[in-house]
Every structure is written in C-alpha cells, then in structure tokens.
Structure 1
Amino acid sequence: MKAVVRTEKLGVFALMLIFGLFSADLPFSSAQTIFNVLDYGAKADGKTDDSNAFSAAWKAACSAATQNPTVVVPSSKDFLVYPLTFQGPCKSSNISFQVIGTINAPSSPSVWRGRNARRWLIFHGVTGLLITGNGTFNGHGSEWWDLSCSDHPSMVGCATIIPVALNIIHCKHSTISDIYTINSARYHVVVNQSSDILVKNMHITAPESSPNTDGIHIELSQNVLVNNSVIATGDDCVSIGELSSNINVSYVTCGPGHGVSIGSLGRYGNSVKVENIHVKKVNFKGTTNGVRIKTWQIGLGYARKISFEHITLESVKNPIYIDQNYCNNFDGTRGNCEPKSTGVHISEVTYDDIVGTSSSNAAIYLNCSQSVACTGITLSNIKIESNKSGQQVTSECTNAHGTDSGVVQPKSCLQS
C-alpha cells in the first residue's frame, strides 16, 4: 500500500530535508555516475553470494569524484548478500543506494557462524546518504524467530544474538525513502549515533508473532524524522532509545505491533537523557500498546518534553501507557517489582487529541515510581471508549502528577 504524502509544519530541519537543501533527495543529474552491482559480478540468482559485488560497487561509488554517485540494485532481480558494511566517509558529499530489486539475507542461522550475527547490512560513517528505490530488503528471519531466547527462554541453545537488518550508524544528513523491509530476524531499521536523518515512505512488515522485530529503532541520535510510513510487525512500530533528542514521528500507520514506545530506558542502571520527542498523526490498529513510555526501576536521568498528539486508536490494548517499574525477576520474567529508590524522571509529557477504542479496561495506565514521580503530565481532549458494546474503560494512576483540560474520557486520575 502506498502511503500518501502529507505536508505539515515539520520544523526547519525537516523542511531542509524534504525540499532538498541537501541534494541527496534531488533527481539525478546528467553528471551522475552509475555503479550497477551486475557490472561488478553479481549473479542475481538468489542463491549465489553477491556480497563481493555489492562491496566492490560501493567502494567504487564511494571513492568516485563525481557528484551523487549511485549504486544501483536493478529491478526484477534477487540478490543474496551476507553481512556487509558500506563504509564511509565518501569522496562525494552525497551518495545514493538505489534498490529496485530484492536484497536477501541468508535464511539459515547456521551460515552466520563466524560472521557478524548482530547486524546484516551496515551503512557506517556516511554523510549525504540516500537509500531509495521501491525495492525490498528481505531479512528471512523465520528460522531466527524459532531460536529466539526471548521467545523460547527454556530452549537449550537458543540464540541471544540475532541480526538487525538495516543499520544506519554514525551517519549524517541522510535519507531512507520508499523502501520495503520485510521479515527481519530482529529490528528492521536501526538509526544509531546519527544525526539529521529522514526516514519516510517506508513499508515495514513481519508477522505479528515474530519476536523483537521492531520497525524502526532510534538510539543515541538527534534530529530524526520518521514520516508517512506503514509499519506492521511483532514488536514496536517505532521505538526510541537512550541519549536521543529532537525525534519526530508523524503520519504513521501502526499495527499489528506494540505501538510507539519511548524505551525501555535505564536497563543497566545508567543515566538516561531523552528529550524533545514528538509523536503525532499516528493511527494504531489492533496493537498491544498505543503511546508508551517504559523505564527500568534502576535507571537514572530523565525523559522529558514529550508530546503525543492527534492519535487515533482502533481496538488498542493499552492506549496511553507509562510503566516506570520495569524489572527482571530471578526466573527471567518481568513484573511484581520490589520498590527501589532510583528511577528515570518522566516529566513534561502532553497527551492531546487522542480518540478511539480500547480492547482493555484501563485505557489510561500511568504506573509511575513511588520514589521518582511522573510530573508535569497533561491530558487534554481525550475520548477513548471500549471496543466492547456496553463496557466502560477506566484510568489508573500511581504517583502521576499533572493537569487535565477539555474532555478527558475516561476521567483523569492525575494527582495535582
């Protein structure tokens, strides 16, 4: 399904990206040099390892003196590519990776032995990168899902290290656009230690039962815009991790999946700094969560200046959700946490214009720490009803402080 591009007030950074103040997203010029992977020996039969051809094409493009060199993965072709890093910096200020065909990961976990099983494809240290083309990254993750320790904790020999499909690491001023990513073994797209990144018009799918297959995960990054995308996976549609700021998520259709999540934060007792996170115009369909913030009891630091606005819900299990009490029990399960004196301070969080239906009784659930309260929470123009005829929904708050305005249904449980 092709998402419809919408225009909104996205801020100076987003406008710079969309309207082309850096040229990576502009139409190709006559001076462009094409580096087709077929010209570098790719067999494109879906069975032969084409990694060397992809590596050679990238190295040639990255070292080219021309403006906007482009690696081309041609249409109607299937390429098998093993774990590979596309290393920058490149000589040109802009470089394109145009995927029109299908790039396939090895389907059997056994062939990853001796290779980097944490990540499949990595773009590292590139400035002015454009990944585009209406092609597909196929992670072939089903055999990995059957080995996942998180899904099969009692299995002997289960896998704790599972590859992330598409990794953007230490990149700047870059765009991922109009790409399909399917069936990743773990996260589909990760933006890590990067800045000024635009992710738009994405189509990300995996079965609802597939473990840890987040659509887009952002961590240790600043100035990231996720826009106009359709995401249906077995985990978070979009997740935002630690040391991230100025993140905007808008015009996303999410479901199935676990919603849009900030966190989990502070798992290792570290100090968290997450701020200026804005989620708007997201439609949740049958997800296990809507808008969620989750932090570990032992974490420190803060998550602040967060907004969730203009959200629609269709049979969502936990529409508005904060859990500040993540912990691990001795048996590896979570929940029933003993009180701790530590906690990530969650503050200045706005929920505005959130409407639709809940599949759970508690439509608003704010489970904040007894030691480090949630403060500055605002609820306004909330109207959530049960998806079951004749049933009522409730709100439940623990140590959550703030104000409400306009219609708030179910009734606000915030403390002043």
Structure 2
Amino acid sequence: MDIMFPLMLILGLVTSITALPIMNFDVFDYGATGFGEDDDSQAFMDAWRDACNGETEGEAGVIVPEVGSFLLNPIMFYGPCNPQIIHFIILGTIIAPGSPTSWNGLDSSQWIAFKDVTGLNVYGSGLVNGQGKRWWDQSCRYHPNKDGCTKLAPTVFKFLSCNEGTLSNLQIVNSPQTHVLIIDSKGFTVDNLMIQSPQNTPNTDGIHIHSSHEVKITNSIIGSGDDCISIGDFTSNIYIANIICGPGHGISIGSLGKDGEMVQVENIRISDSSFKRTTNGARIKTWQVGQGNIRHVIFENLVFDDVENPIIIDQYYCDVRGMCKEEKTGVKISDVVYKNLYGTSSTNIAINLNCSRSVRCSGIKMKNINLVSTQPGKPMTSSCTNAVGTEVGVNPACFGN
C-alpha cells in the first residue's frame, strides 16, 4: 500500500500540473512560514481572498508549496468566486492545532471548510493531518465519565454547497472526527485519496455524504474507526467504486431516521471494492421511528476478507443494540440488488437482513454470492427476516428460492 499510493499520486499530479491555473497565489507570498509552529491561517485567507476575487473569469489557484509544514487554525474559505474554476493545490503538509482549546468559542465541528464555491478543485501530493488524538482522548463515546468529554469534534475537510467540485490525490490522516464531509452539494467527485486513522478512534468516518446528489467516490484507500464511507439522508445518484476499505465499519447507507424524519435516499451504486477485517461490508441501517424510502440500491462486485457482517440490513438500529422497543413505523427499503459478492465472514451469519415487521424490505435481488467462513470448513448461515426477494446462486441461501 505504501509503495503503490505515491505512484497513484504522481500519475494524478501530472495530469493536474499540465492544467495549472492561469493566476496562482502562493501562500509563502502572503507571509506563511511553513515551520509547522506559527499560525499560517491569515496567509491562507489572504491568498484565498485574492484568488477568489481575481479579475479573471477563467481559473485561479491557491498554492501550498511542497517545502513546508503549515499550521492552520479553524478556517473557512467562502465563495462565490469570480473565476469559474478555483484550484486549491496542496503540495506540502497542513497540520491542525494539537489542542482542542484552539476551538474555544468556535464551531468545533470543522477545521478546514469551503462554502458556496462552484468549480472548486482541491488536490495535490500533500498530507493533511488532523492531529485528532487529544479529541479522541476526551470523546464522550469512549470516555463517558470524563469531565468535559466532547460529543462533537472537527471534520478535516467540510464542503458546504460546493457544486461541480473535486477532491483528489491527497493523504488525509488522524481526523478528530469525520475526515471528509460533503453536504448540500451537487456534481462532486472524490478520487485517489488515502484516508487513515486508527481502528479504535471514535466517529472517524472516512467520507460522509449528506443532502447531496450526483457524487462520485473512486479509487481510494480508506481505513478508520467508523464507516469507510457513509451515505446520509436526502442523497441520490451516488456512485462508489474501487475502494479498499479497512479497518472500519464498511460502506454504509445510514443510519437514517433517528429523529423520525422523512428519509429520501435513492439510486446508490457501490461496486468493485474490497473489505478487509471490517465490522461490516455492504450495510444499510435505519431507526424504527424513521419514515420515507431507501430504494434503487446496487451492491456489486465486492470482495470480503474476514468481515464480521458482509451483507447486513438493520432496520432496528439503536443506541443500545436490542434495547429499543418495537415501533410500528419504519423506513421502507426496496429494490436492493446484491450481485457478484464473494469472500469470508468472521461470524456465523454471513447474510443478515434484519427487517421491520411493520415495514418489510421488498424487491431484494441476490445473484452470484458465495460467502464462507474465515475458519475453513465451518458452516455458515443466513438470517433473512421480514424480507421479500429472489436469489440465484447464493451461498448461504437467504430466501431458498
């Protein structure tokens, strides 16, 4: 992995260099030191201001040079911008403050954020380090009895209402919480990322999508303490392919409907990806109190290696598993396809469709699935409750038809 990824970066960067923006604004020219100890936030803001307000209607860019380590406090880059395309080229290293106190009086949910920027391209061969350890050590999820524990921690990259944007060719590590958040955006592409944080870190999703449409995530390596990729509410036309996931909780739709809201998720395609020692593989999770629909979902050409729950739908998702009372409501899950899925499960139940008695899963189609135990010769089973569908060539059988 360490050998292959730089090659991927070089190939991606060559393409980017041949199309460098017409007007470049180097953060060194605005007073950045690149020493990794001084706050370089103002230099970044000033370079962004001039790039965003540039007189050109073509392209402009902010350059973060290769030689340097740049300390940034919480920062928001605002649009709309005059140029039709804005490049944010990270060739060096950007690091977050090591102490949560740097967020005192500020929005603790974000570190580097872009808002209302159309045509934004964030890329480079650089490293972005969220320095999340101090946040993990005071997380209420893992330290509920700790005085001053925190439920909310910063996301490394947050893209808010950024249409027709891209994020590519970067290494993003050790986020305090989610690494990349895409929200209220359309036509956003993520490609060739390496995202990593330790397996035991709280809520460190690799990429989370919410209220966004026409999003593509491809050719990336993601390992974290939570979902490699999670798909939130009000999303449609999402394409995910060629992802190496692990460690983590798999690629998940949800959880959805926690507060009884109307869920709208459709046209999701997840393909040609692999999962290694994750807690889940292809997962859909909803709360009973939710309403609305998850529909037209395809999981295809997936490989599982020592995964606890390779295929799982959980319509009884709950803060404490098995402790929530039965509800008569639920999110309708329909038209879900599982095709060409292979590999090993570390638990006895390789396929687990735990659907609601009140709102059954319907239109489930399974074809060419073979899941065996991580332990050679150990028998496997499926548990498919309140689900209606068909299967061809499925082992272990779910519907028996």
TM-score (norm 2): 0.95
**8 Å Cα contact 2:352-2:382 kept in structure 1:** yes
1:398 to partner: Cα distance: 1.3
Flag structure 2 segments of 5+ consecutive residues without an equivalent: 9-14
CA distance in 2, matches of 1:371, 1:217: 29
* 1:234 and 2:225 are equivalent in the alignment: yes
Amino acid aligned to 1:200: D
Q: Which residue of 2 aligns with 1:397?
A: 384
CA distance in 1, matches of 2:398, 2:239: 26
**8 Å Cα contact 2:389-2:399 kept in structure 1:** no
- List per-residue Cα deviations over 1:162-212 (Å, max 9, x = no partner): 111100110111111101100000000000000000100000000011111
- List per-residue Cα deviations over 1:87-143 (Å, max 9, x = no partner): 011000001000000111111112211122111011110111111111111000011
Amino acid aligned to 1:370: R
Higher alpha-carbon deviation: 61-70 or 88-97: 61-70
Q: Which residue of 2 aligns with 1:325?
A: 316
1:337 to partner: Cα distance: 2.5
1:35 to partner: Cα distance: 0.4
Q: 2:264 aligns with which of 262, 270, 273?
A: 273
**8 Å Cα contact 1:379-1:403 kept in structure 2:** yes
**8 Å Cα contact 2:391-2:399 kept in structure 1:** no
Matches within 5 A, 1:106-121: 106-121=97-112
* 1:48 and 2:48 are equivalent in the alignment: no
Distance 1:25 1:400, change over 3 A: farther
**8 Å Cα contact 2:390-2:399 kept in structure 1:** no
1:26 to partner: Cα distance: 8.0
CA distance in 1, matches of 2:202, 2:72: 23
* 1:204 and 2:199 are equivalent in the alignment: no
Amino acid aligned to 2:372: E
Flag structure 1 segments of 5+ consecutive residues without an equivalent: 6-23
Secondary structure, aligned partner of 1:157: coil
Q: 1:32 aligns with which of 22, 32, 37?
A: 22
* 1:412 and 2:398 are equivalent in the alignment: yes
CA distance in 2, matches of 1:26, 1:264: 39
* 1:352 and 2:339 are equivalent in the alignment: yes
CA distance in 2, matches of 1:175, 1:382: 34
CA distance in 2, matches of 1:25, 1:101: 15
TM-score (norm 1): 0.91
CA distance in 2, matches of 1:290, 1:152: 27
Matches within 5 A, 1:365-404: 365-404=352-391
Distance 1:43 1:290, change over 3 A: same
Matches within 5 A, 1:78-93: 78-93=69-84
Amino acid aligned to 1:180: Q
Secondary structure, aligned partner of 1:61: helix
Q: Which residue of 1 aligns with 2:163?
A: 172
1:69 to partner: Cα distance: 0.8
Distance 1:244 1:26, change over 3 A: farther
* 1:142 and 2:133 are equivalent in the alignment: yes
RMSD: 1.5
1:160 to partner: Cα distance: 1.5
**8 Å Cα contact 1:396-1:413 kept in structure 2:** no
CA distance in 2, matches of 1:184, 1:161: 12
1:335 to partner: Cα distance: 2.5
